[in-house]
Amino acid sequence: MLEDAANAATDTPTEKPFVERRRRLSPAALDVVNQKVLRAYSPIVIAGFVRLADFVLLSVVGIALHLLYVLPLSGFYWEYLVAIFGITAAAIACFQAADIYQVELFRGHLRQMTRMVSSWSFVFLLFIGVSFFAKVGGEVSRVWLAAYFVVGLVALVGERMILRNLVRNWARDGRLDRRTIIVGSDRNGEELIEALKAQDDTDIHVLGVFDDRNDSRALDTCAGAPKLGKVDDIVEFARRTRVDLVLFALPISAETRILEMLKKLWVLPVDIRLSAHTNKLRFRPRSYSYLGEVPTLDVFEAPITDWDLVMKWLFDRIVGGIALLAALPVMALVALAVRLDSPGPVLFRQKRFGFNNERIDVYKFRSMYHHQADPTASKVVTKNDPRVTRVGRFIRKTSLDELPQLFNVVVKGNLSLVGPRPHAVQGKFQHRLFDEAVDGYFARHRVKPGITGWAQINGWRGEIDKEEKIQKRVEFDLYYIENWSVLFDLYIFLKTPLSLLTKNENAY
Protein backbone atom coordinates (compact mmCIF):
# COMPACT_ATOMS: atom_id res chain seq x y z
CA MET A 1 0.00 0.00 0.00
CA LEU A 2 2.82 2.39 0.86
CA GLU A 3 4.46 1.83 -2.54
CA ASP A 4 1.20 2.60 -4.36
CA ALA A 5 0.73 5.67 -2.21
CA ALA A 6 4.25 6.90 -3.00
CA ASN A 7 3.47 6.73 -6.71
CA ALA A 8 0.15 8.44 -6.21
CA ALA A 9 1.73 11.19 -4.12
CA THR A 10 3.05 12.81 -7.27
CA ASP A 11 -0.52 13.39 -8.46
CA THR A 12 -1.07 16.56 -6.45
CA PRO A 13 -3.49 19.23 -7.63
CA THR A 14 -2.17 21.53 -10.33
CA GLU A 15 -1.09 24.92 -9.01
CA LYS A 16 0.67 27.90 -10.48
CA PRO A 17 4.38 27.19 -10.17
CA PHE A 18 6.17 29.63 -7.92
CA VAL A 19 9.18 31.50 -9.20
CA GLU A 20 12.11 31.10 -6.83
CA ARG A 21 14.35 34.04 -6.15
CA ARG A 22 17.86 33.33 -7.38
CA ARG A 23 20.72 35.70 -7.86
CA ARG A 24 21.99 35.92 -11.43
CA LEU A 25 25.60 34.83 -11.83
CA SER A 26 28.16 36.08 -14.33
CA PRO A 27 28.96 34.03 -17.46
CA ALA A 28 32.36 33.14 -15.98
CA ALA A 29 30.72 31.88 -12.79
CA LEU A 30 28.15 29.90 -14.77
CA ASP A 31 30.96 28.19 -16.68
CA VAL A 32 32.31 26.89 -13.35
CA VAL A 33 28.87 26.03 -11.97
CA ASN A 34 27.96 23.97 -15.05
CA GLN A 35 31.02 21.73 -14.71
CA LYS A 36 30.34 18.25 -13.33
CA VAL A 37 31.72 17.98 -9.80
CA LEU A 38 31.97 14.76 -7.82
CA ARG A 39 31.62 14.47 -4.07
CA ALA A 40 34.84 15.10 -2.14
CA TYR A 41 36.63 12.49 -0.01
CA SER A 42 38.13 13.53 3.32
CA PRO A 43 41.93 13.01 3.50
CA ILE A 44 41.60 12.55 7.27
CA VAL A 45 39.10 9.72 6.84
CA ILE A 46 41.16 8.12 4.06
CA ALA A 47 44.25 8.13 6.29
CA GLY A 48 42.20 6.62 9.12
CA PHE A 49 40.97 3.77 6.94
CA VAL A 50 44.53 3.12 5.72
CA ARG A 51 45.68 2.77 9.34
CA LEU A 52 42.86 0.31 9.96
CA ALA A 53 43.69 -1.60 6.77
CA ASP A 54 47.37 -1.82 7.81
CA PHE A 55 46.43 -3.16 11.23
CA VAL A 56 44.04 -5.78 9.83
CA LEU A 57 46.44 -6.82 7.05
CA LEU A 58 49.46 -7.30 9.31
CA SER A 59 47.38 -9.11 11.94
CA VAL A 60 45.92 -11.49 9.34
CA VAL A 61 49.37 -12.22 7.89
CA GLY A 62 50.86 -13.02 11.31
CA ILE A 63 47.92 -15.21 12.38
CA ALA A 64 47.84 -17.05 9.02
CA LEU A 65 51.55 -17.89 9.23
CA HIS A 66 51.07 -19.10 12.80
CA LEU A 67 48.21 -21.39 11.75
CA LEU A 68 50.04 -22.70 8.69
CA TYR A 69 53.51 -23.29 10.21
CA VAL A 70 53.66 -23.10 14.01
CA LEU A 71 50.36 -24.79 14.87
CA PRO A 72 51.00 -28.12 13.02
CA LEU A 73 54.49 -28.44 14.58
CA SER A 74 54.13 -27.11 18.12
CA GLY A 75 50.43 -26.49 18.76
CA PHE A 76 48.70 -23.26 19.64
CA TYR A 77 50.50 -20.65 21.76
CA TRP A 78 48.60 -17.56 22.86
CA GLU A 79 51.94 -15.78 23.24
CA TYR A 80 52.14 -15.62 19.44
CA LEU A 81 48.89 -13.66 19.33
CA VAL A 82 50.28 -11.19 21.88
CA ALA A 83 53.44 -10.86 19.77
CA ILE A 84 51.45 -10.39 16.54
CA PHE A 85 49.22 -7.66 17.92
CA GLY A 86 52.21 -6.03 19.64
CA ILE A 87 54.23 -5.97 16.40
CA THR A 88 51.23 -4.68 14.45
CA ALA A 89 50.50 -1.88 16.92
CA ALA A 90 54.19 -0.91 17.00
CA ALA A 91 54.26 -0.88 13.19
CA ILE A 92 51.27 1.50 12.99
CA ALA A 93 52.91 3.78 15.56
CA CYS A 94 56.20 3.77 13.61
CA PHE A 95 54.41 4.44 10.32
CA GLN A 96 52.71 7.38 12.01
CA ALA A 97 56.03 8.66 13.36
CA ALA A 98 57.51 8.32 9.86
CA ASP A 99 54.65 10.52 8.63
CA ILE A 100 53.53 8.18 5.85
CA TYR A 101 49.80 8.50 6.58
CA GLN A 102 49.36 11.49 4.29
CA VAL A 103 47.34 11.52 1.10
CA GLU A 104 50.15 13.38 -0.66
CA LEU A 105 52.51 10.46 0.08
CA PHE A 106 49.91 7.90 -0.99
CA ARG A 107 50.10 9.38 -4.50
CA GLY A 108 53.86 8.86 -4.69
CA HIS A 109 55.96 5.72 -4.65
CA LEU A 110 59.61 6.07 -3.63
CA ARG A 111 59.35 8.18 -0.46
CA GLN A 112 56.43 6.12 0.83
CA MET A 113 58.13 2.76 0.21
CA THR A 114 61.51 3.71 1.70
CA ARG A 115 59.92 5.06 4.87
CA MET A 116 57.67 2.01 5.19
CA VAL A 117 60.53 -0.50 4.71
CA SER A 118 62.66 1.37 7.26
CA SER A 119 59.83 1.47 9.81
CA TRP A 120 58.89 -2.19 9.34
CA SER A 121 62.54 -3.22 9.72
CA PHE A 122 62.90 -1.10 12.87
CA VAL A 123 59.85 -2.81 14.41
CA PHE A 124 61.38 -6.26 13.93
CA LEU A 125 64.76 -5.18 15.26
CA LEU A 126 62.93 -3.75 18.28
CA PHE A 127 61.03 -7.01 18.77
CA ILE A 128 64.22 -9.08 18.53
CA GLY A 129 65.94 -6.82 21.06
CA VAL A 130 63.03 -6.95 23.53
CA SER A 131 62.70 -10.74 23.24
CA PHE A 132 66.48 -11.13 23.77
CA PHE A 133 66.53 -9.09 26.97
CA ALA A 134 63.35 -10.80 28.17
CA LYS A 135 64.99 -14.17 27.49
CA VAL A 136 62.10 -15.42 25.37
CA GLY A 137 63.88 -15.33 22.01
CA GLY A 138 64.38 -19.10 22.00
CA GLU A 139 60.63 -19.71 22.31
CA VAL A 140 59.80 -17.84 19.11
CA SER A 141 60.12 -19.68 15.80
CA ARG A 142 62.80 -18.02 13.69
CA VAL A 143 61.17 -19.34 10.51
CA TRP A 144 57.84 -17.79 11.53
CA LEU A 145 59.51 -14.49 12.43
CA ALA A 146 61.44 -14.29 9.15
CA ALA A 147 58.36 -15.27 7.15
CA TYR A 148 56.28 -12.66 8.99
CA PHE A 149 58.82 -9.97 8.10
CA VAL A 150 59.01 -10.89 4.41
CA VAL A 151 55.34 -11.70 3.78
CA GLY A 152 54.20 -8.71 5.83
CA LEU A 153 56.44 -6.39 3.82
CA VAL A 154 55.22 -7.85 0.51
CA ALA A 155 51.60 -7.45 1.66
CA LEU A 156 52.21 -3.82 2.66
CA VAL A 157 53.87 -3.02 -0.67
CA GLY A 158 51.00 -4.62 -2.57
CA GLU A 159 48.45 -2.71 -0.51
CA ARG A 160 50.26 0.57 -1.11
CA MET A 161 50.37 -0.02 -4.87
CA ILE A 162 46.61 -0.54 -4.92
CA LEU A 163 46.14 2.53 -2.70
CA ARG A 164 48.39 4.57 -4.99
CA ASN A 165 46.19 3.81 -7.99
CA LEU A 166 43.02 4.58 -6.03
CA VAL A 167 44.33 7.92 -4.76
CA ARG A 168 45.56 8.94 -8.21
CA ASN A 169 42.15 8.13 -9.70
CA TRP A 170 40.42 10.12 -6.94
CA ALA A 171 42.78 13.04 -7.53
CA ARG A 172 42.11 12.88 -11.28
CA ASP A 173 38.36 12.99 -10.60
CA GLY A 174 38.74 15.98 -8.28
CA ARG A 175 37.60 14.12 -5.18
CA LEU A 176 40.68 15.18 -3.21
CA ASP A 177 40.69 18.82 -4.34
CA ARG A 178 39.83 21.65 -1.98
CA ARG A 179 37.77 23.81 -4.29
CA THR A 180 38.74 27.34 -3.26
CA ILE A 181 37.54 30.83 -4.09
CA ILE A 182 39.62 33.91 -3.38
CA VAL A 183 38.13 37.18 -2.13
CA GLY A 184 40.21 40.09 -3.42
CA SER A 185 41.22 40.49 -7.05
CA ASP A 186 44.26 42.72 -6.65
CA ARG A 187 47.99 42.42 -6.15
CA ASN A 188 47.48 40.67 -2.80
CA GLY A 189 45.21 38.15 -4.51
CA GLU A 190 47.80 37.53 -7.22
CA GLU A 191 50.54 36.91 -4.66
CA LEU A 192 48.29 34.53 -2.73
CA ILE A 193 47.33 32.47 -5.80
CA GLU A 194 50.94 32.32 -6.96
CA ALA A 195 52.02 31.15 -3.49
CA LEU A 196 49.35 28.44 -3.50
CA LYS A 197 50.33 27.25 -6.98
CA ALA A 198 53.99 27.05 -5.95
CA GLN A 199 53.24 24.34 -3.36
CA ASP A 200 54.26 20.76 -4.18
CA ASP A 201 51.43 18.20 -4.21
CA THR A 202 48.90 20.88 -3.29
CA ASP A 203 45.23 19.95 -3.09
CA ILE A 204 44.07 23.56 -3.52
CA HIS A 205 42.06 24.12 -6.71
CA VAL A 206 41.38 27.84 -7.19
CA LEU A 207 38.05 28.29 -8.99
CA GLY A 208 38.27 32.06 -9.31
CA VAL A 209 38.17 35.36 -7.47
CA PHE A 210 35.41 37.66 -6.23
CA ASP A 211 35.73 41.40 -5.63
CA ASP A 212 33.25 44.26 -5.11
CA ARG A 213 35.52 46.96 -6.50
CA ASN A 214 35.02 48.27 -10.00
CA ASP A 215 38.11 50.50 -10.15
CA SER A 216 41.59 49.78 -11.46
CA ARG A 217 42.52 47.83 -8.33
CA ALA A 218 40.17 44.96 -9.24
CA LEU A 219 41.74 42.77 -11.92
CA ASP A 220 39.64 40.82 -14.45
CA THR A 221 42.01 37.88 -14.11
CA CYS A 222 44.12 37.29 -11.02
CA ALA A 223 47.24 35.19 -11.61
CA GLY A 224 45.32 33.28 -14.26
CA ALA A 225 42.16 32.87 -12.15
CA PRO A 226 39.06 34.56 -13.61
CA LYS A 227 36.98 37.12 -11.75
CA LEU A 228 33.64 35.41 -11.13
CA GLY A 229 31.62 38.22 -9.59
CA LYS A 230 31.04 40.26 -6.46
CA VAL A 231 31.02 39.10 -2.86
CA ASP A 232 27.21 39.08 -2.84
CA ASP A 233 27.36 36.39 -5.55
CA ILE A 234 29.41 33.97 -3.43
CA VAL A 235 26.44 32.58 -1.47
CA GLU A 236 24.53 31.69 -4.64
CA PHE A 237 27.70 30.39 -6.32
CA ALA A 238 28.53 28.10 -3.37
CA ARG A 239 25.00 26.69 -3.40
CA ARG A 240 25.21 25.70 -7.05
CA THR A 241 28.62 24.05 -7.05
CA ARG A 242 30.94 22.52 -4.48
CA VAL A 243 33.07 25.06 -2.62
CA ASP A 244 35.28 23.85 0.23
CA LEU A 245 37.24 26.96 1.18
CA VAL A 246 36.76 30.73 1.00
CA LEU A 247 40.10 32.50 1.36
CA PHE A 248 40.35 36.25 1.92
CA ALA A 249 43.35 37.91 0.29
CA LEU A 250 42.52 41.22 1.96
CA PRO A 251 44.90 42.61 4.57
CA ILE A 252 43.78 42.35 8.20
CA SER A 253 43.83 46.16 8.29
CA ALA A 254 40.69 46.12 6.09
CA GLU A 255 38.73 45.11 9.17
CA THR A 256 35.48 46.88 8.31
CA ARG A 257 35.27 45.42 4.80
CA ILE A 258 36.08 41.92 6.05
CA LEU A 259 33.41 42.05 8.76
CA GLU A 260 30.77 43.17 6.27
CA MET A 261 31.65 40.29 3.98
CA LEU A 262 31.71 37.73 6.79
CA LYS A 263 28.16 38.71 7.77
CA LYS A 264 27.08 37.53 4.33
CA LEU A 265 29.21 34.39 4.08
CA TRP A 266 29.02 32.76 7.52
CA VAL A 267 25.78 30.98 6.57
CA LEU A 268 27.69 28.72 4.15
CA PRO A 269 28.91 25.23 5.19
CA VAL A 270 32.51 25.95 4.14
CA ASP A 271 35.81 26.81 5.78
CA ILE A 272 36.51 30.56 5.76
CA ARG A 273 40.07 31.81 6.36
CA LEU A 274 42.04 35.02 6.19
CA SER A 275 45.34 34.81 4.36
CA ALA A 276 48.26 36.12 6.40
CA HIS A 277 50.97 35.83 3.75
CA THR A 278 51.30 39.61 3.21
CA ASN A 279 50.59 40.82 6.75
CA LYS A 280 53.47 42.46 8.58
CA LEU A 281 51.81 41.80 11.92
CA ARG A 282 52.90 38.33 13.04
CA PHE A 283 51.21 36.13 15.63
CA ARG A 284 52.51 33.06 17.44
CA PRO A 285 52.95 30.08 15.07
CA ARG A 286 50.14 28.21 16.83
CA SER A 287 47.72 30.94 15.80
CA TYR A 288 48.04 29.96 12.15
CA SER A 289 46.83 27.05 10.10
CA TYR A 290 48.81 26.40 6.94
CA LEU A 291 47.96 25.64 3.33
CA GLY A 292 51.33 24.16 2.48
CA GLU A 293 53.58 27.00 3.60
CA VAL A 294 50.96 29.75 3.26
CA PRO A 295 49.84 30.94 6.74
CA THR A 296 46.12 31.58 7.28
CA LEU A 297 43.87 32.55 10.18
CA ASP A 298 40.75 30.45 10.74
CA VAL A 299 37.49 32.40 10.93
CA PHE A 300 34.73 29.81 10.42
CA GLU A 301 34.94 26.06 10.02
CA ALA A 302 32.48 23.82 8.20
CA PRO A 303 30.45 21.92 10.83
CA ILE A 304 30.33 18.12 11.11
CA THR A 305 33.17 17.06 8.83
CA ASP A 306 35.64 14.19 8.52
CA TRP A 307 35.09 11.50 11.20
CA ASP A 308 32.16 13.40 12.71
CA LEU A 309 30.40 13.06 9.36
CA VAL A 310 31.15 9.32 9.28
CA MET A 311 29.76 8.87 12.79
CA LYS A 312 26.60 10.80 11.95
CA TRP A 313 26.15 8.75 8.76
CA LEU A 314 26.45 5.51 10.73
CA PHE A 315 24.03 6.80 13.38
CA ASP A 316 21.45 7.68 10.71
CA ARG A 317 21.76 4.38 8.86
CA ILE A 318 21.91 2.04 11.88
CA VAL A 319 19.50 3.73 14.29
CA GLY A 320 17.32 4.96 11.42
CA GLY A 321 17.12 1.44 9.95
CA ILE A 322 16.08 -0.02 13.32
CA ALA A 323 13.50 2.75 13.79
CA LEU A 324 12.11 2.15 10.29
CA LEU A 325 11.65 -1.59 10.88
CA ALA A 326 9.98 -0.91 14.24
CA ALA A 327 7.67 1.73 12.70
CA LEU A 328 6.49 -0.31 9.69
CA PRO A 329 3.42 -1.81 11.45
CA VAL A 330 2.36 1.62 12.71
CA MET A 331 2.93 3.14 9.27
CA ALA A 332 0.73 0.47 7.69
CA LEU A 333 -2.11 1.30 10.11
CA VAL A 334 -1.74 5.05 9.51
CA ALA A 335 -1.74 4.51 5.73
CA LEU A 336 -4.95 2.48 5.99
CA ALA A 337 -6.61 5.16 8.16
CA VAL A 338 -5.63 7.94 5.72
CA ARG A 339 -6.95 5.95 2.75
CA LEU A 340 -10.29 5.21 4.44
CA ASP A 341 -10.76 8.72 5.83
CA SER A 342 -10.70 10.71 2.58
CA PRO A 343 -10.03 10.15 -1.12
CA GLY A 344 -6.55 10.79 -2.49
CA PRO A 345 -3.00 9.46 -2.12
CA VAL A 346 -1.71 8.27 1.22
CA LEU A 347 1.60 10.12 0.99
CA PHE A 348 2.20 13.81 0.40
CA ARG A 349 5.40 15.11 -1.19
CA GLN A 350 6.72 18.60 -0.51
CA LYS A 351 9.79 20.58 -1.59
CA ARG A 352 11.87 21.61 1.39
CA PHE A 353 15.28 23.06 2.13
CA GLY A 354 18.02 20.47 2.53
CA PHE A 355 21.74 20.76 3.16
CA ASN A 356 23.19 24.04 1.82
CA ASN A 357 19.74 25.09 0.52
CA GLU A 358 19.47 22.06 -1.75
CA ARG A 359 15.84 21.42 -2.69
CA ILE A 360 14.75 17.96 -1.55
CA ASP A 361 11.49 16.00 -1.68
CA VAL A 362 10.23 15.18 1.81
CA TYR A 363 7.46 12.60 2.27
CA LYS A 364 4.70 12.74 4.86
CA PHE A 365 1.39 11.01 5.37
CA ARG A 366 -1.30 13.18 3.78
CA SER A 367 -3.11 15.11 6.51
CA MET A 368 -5.17 17.49 4.32
CA TYR A 369 -7.96 16.94 1.86
CA HIS A 370 -6.38 16.13 -1.48
CA HIS A 371 -8.04 18.97 -3.38
CA GLN A 372 -6.81 21.48 -0.78
CA ALA A 373 -3.21 20.27 -0.66
CA ASP A 374 -0.56 22.98 -0.36
CA PRO A 375 2.74 21.64 -1.76
CA THR A 376 4.54 24.98 -1.38
CA ALA A 377 3.24 25.67 2.17
CA SER A 378 2.12 29.09 1.03
CA LYS A 379 -0.47 29.13 3.84
CA VAL A 380 0.45 28.04 7.35
CA VAL A 381 -1.74 25.37 8.96
CA THR A 382 -3.59 26.88 11.92
CA LYS A 383 -5.74 25.57 14.76
CA ASN A 384 -9.01 23.99 13.51
CA ASP A 385 -7.84 24.47 9.92
CA PRO A 386 -10.69 23.21 7.66
CA ARG A 387 -8.18 21.80 5.18
CA VAL A 388 -7.02 19.17 7.71
CA THR A 389 -8.86 15.82 7.76
CA ARG A 390 -10.04 14.03 10.92
CA VAL A 391 -7.20 11.53 10.73
CA GLY A 392 -4.89 14.38 9.73
CA ARG A 393 -5.50 16.22 13.01
CA PHE A 394 -4.50 13.18 15.01
CA ILE A 395 -1.38 12.27 13.03
CA ARG A 396 -0.21 15.91 12.97
CA LYS A 397 -0.74 16.25 16.71
CA THR A 398 1.25 13.06 17.37
CA SER A 399 3.74 13.64 14.52
CA LEU A 400 2.86 10.25 13.02
CA ASP A 401 2.60 12.06 9.69
CA GLU A 402 6.41 12.42 9.80
CA LEU A 403 7.13 8.66 9.87
CA PRO A 404 7.61 8.29 6.07
CA GLN A 405 10.61 10.60 6.42
CA LEU A 406 12.48 7.57 7.77
CA PHE A 407 12.70 6.53 4.11
CA ASN A 408 14.37 9.89 3.41
CA VAL A 409 16.93 9.05 6.11
CA VAL A 410 17.64 5.39 5.37
CA VAL A 411 17.02 5.11 1.61
CA LYS A 412 17.57 8.55 0.05
CA GLY A 413 20.02 9.92 2.61
CA ASN A 414 18.85 13.53 2.19
CA LEU A 415 17.61 13.76 5.79
CA SER A 416 19.17 12.88 9.14
CA LEU A 417 17.38 11.50 12.16
CA VAL A 418 18.39 14.61 14.12
CA GLY A 419 19.00 18.09 12.77
CA PRO A 420 17.23 21.37 12.02
CA ARG A 421 13.72 20.62 10.76
CA PRO A 422 13.46 21.20 6.97
CA HIS A 423 11.12 24.08 6.21
CA ALA A 424 9.14 24.40 3.00
CA VAL A 425 10.92 26.55 0.42
CA GLN A 426 8.00 28.99 0.43
CA GLY A 427 7.50 28.96 4.21
CA LYS A 428 6.32 32.39 5.36
CA PHE A 429 5.61 34.49 8.42
CA GLN A 430 3.14 37.32 7.83
CA HIS A 431 3.72 37.32 4.05
CA ARG A 432 7.51 37.34 4.53
CA LEU A 433 9.70 34.37 3.71
CA PHE A 434 11.52 33.01 6.73
CA ASP A 435 14.93 34.21 5.51
CA GLU A 436 13.49 37.73 5.28
CA ALA A 437 12.09 37.54 8.81
CA VAL A 438 15.22 36.22 10.58
CA ASP A 439 18.84 37.27 10.08
CA GLY A 440 21.13 34.30 9.52
CA TYR A 441 18.20 32.00 8.76
CA PHE A 442 20.11 30.07 6.08
CA ALA A 443 22.90 29.24 8.56
CA ARG A 444 20.65 26.43 9.84
CA HIS A 445 21.21 24.72 6.49
CA ARG A 446 24.94 24.24 7.10
CA VAL A 447 24.11 20.66 8.14
CA LYS A 448 21.67 18.10 6.82
CA PRO A 449 18.12 18.65 8.16
CA GLY A 450 16.51 16.09 10.47
CA ILE A 451 13.20 14.49 11.37
CA THR A 452 13.54 15.81 14.91
CA GLY A 453 15.80 18.41 16.46
CA TRP A 454 16.86 20.45 19.45
CA ALA A 455 14.24 23.13 18.73
CA GLN A 456 11.43 20.56 18.47
CA ILE A 457 12.08 18.80 21.79
CA ASN A 458 12.18 22.23 23.46
CA GLY A 459 8.66 23.01 22.26
CA TRP A 460 9.41 25.12 19.16
CA ARG A 461 7.34 23.20 16.65
CA GLY A 462 4.02 23.55 14.87
CA GLU A 463 2.34 26.79 13.80
CA ILE A 464 4.49 29.92 13.36
CA ASP A 465 2.16 32.80 14.23
CA LYS A 466 4.70 34.95 16.07
CA GLU A 467 8.11 36.17 15.02
CA GLU A 468 9.55 34.81 18.27
CA LYS A 469 8.72 31.25 17.18
CA ILE A 470 10.79 31.30 14.01
CA GLN A 471 13.57 33.21 15.79
CA LYS A 472 13.69 30.63 18.57
CA ARG A 473 13.78 27.79 16.05
CA VAL A 474 16.77 29.32 14.34
CA GLU A 475 18.44 30.06 17.67
CA PHE A 476 18.07 26.47 18.89
CA ASP A 477 19.12 25.07 15.50
CA LEU A 478 22.31 27.11 15.52
CA TYR A 479 23.05 25.96 19.07
CA TYR A 480 22.67 22.36 17.91
CA ILE A 481 25.05 22.89 14.98
CA GLU A 482 27.74 24.47 17.14
CA ASN A 483 27.48 21.81 19.88
CA TRP A 484 26.86 18.66 17.84
CA SER A 485 28.00 15.26 19.04
CA VAL A 486 26.75 11.71 18.63
CA LEU A 487 25.64 11.68 22.26
CA PHE A 488 23.74 14.93 21.68
CA ASP A 489 21.97 13.30 18.72
CA LEU A 490 21.15 10.24 20.81
CA TYR A 491 19.78 12.41 23.64
CA ILE A 492 17.52 14.34 21.25
CA PHE A 493 16.35 11.15 19.53
CA LEU A 494 15.47 9.40 22.82
CA LYS A 495 13.75 12.47 24.25
CA THR A 496 11.60 13.07 21.16
CA PRO A 497 8.73 10.66 22.11
CA LEU A 498 8.40 12.31 25.53
CA SER A 499 8.41 15.82 24.03
CA LEU A 500 5.65 14.79 21.59
CA LEU A 501 3.45 13.91 24.55
CA THR A 502 4.21 16.96 26.68
CA LYS A 503 4.99 19.77 24.21
CA ASN A 504 2.51 19.44 21.38
CA GLU A 505 0.31 22.45 22.02
CA ASN A 506 1.51 24.20 18.87
CA ALA A 507 1.02 21.21 16.54
CA TYR A 508 -2.22 21.40 14.53
Q: Which helix (H) or strand (E) holds 204?
A: strand 204-210
Half-sphere exposure of 448 (CA within 13 A, CB side): 21
Calpha distance 458→504 (Å, rounded): 10
Give the predicted TM-score (pTM) of the model.
0.84
pLDDT means per 10 residues, the chain with 508 residues, are 41 45 82 91 94 96 89 74 92 93 82 88 89 66 89 94 92 92 88 87 88 72 87 91 92 80 90 79 69 86 93 95 94 92 87 88 86 65 76 86 93 94 77 76 92 89 74 92 94 89 62
Supply the angle between the helices 142-172 and 78-97 in degrees, to the nearest 10.
Answer: 40
Query: Domain segments of the chain: what residues?
Result: 2-14+307-502, 43-172, 177-302
Per-residue pLDDT, 16: 47
Q: Select from 3.40.50.300, 3.40.50.720, 3.40.50.2300, 3.40.50.1000 the CATH code of 177-302.
A: 3.40.50.720
> Is the Cβ–Cβ distance between 186 and 211 less than 8 Å?
yes
Per-residue pLDDT, 13: 40
> Is the Cβ–Cβ distance between 170 and 176 less than 8 Å?
yes
Residue by residue, DSSP assigns 406-469 as HHIIIII-SSEEESSPPPBTT-EETTEEHHHHSTTGGGGGGS--EEE-HHHHTT--S---SHHH
Nearest to 273 by CA among 289, 285, 284: 289
Q: Which helix (H) or strand (E) holds 394?
A: helix 390-397
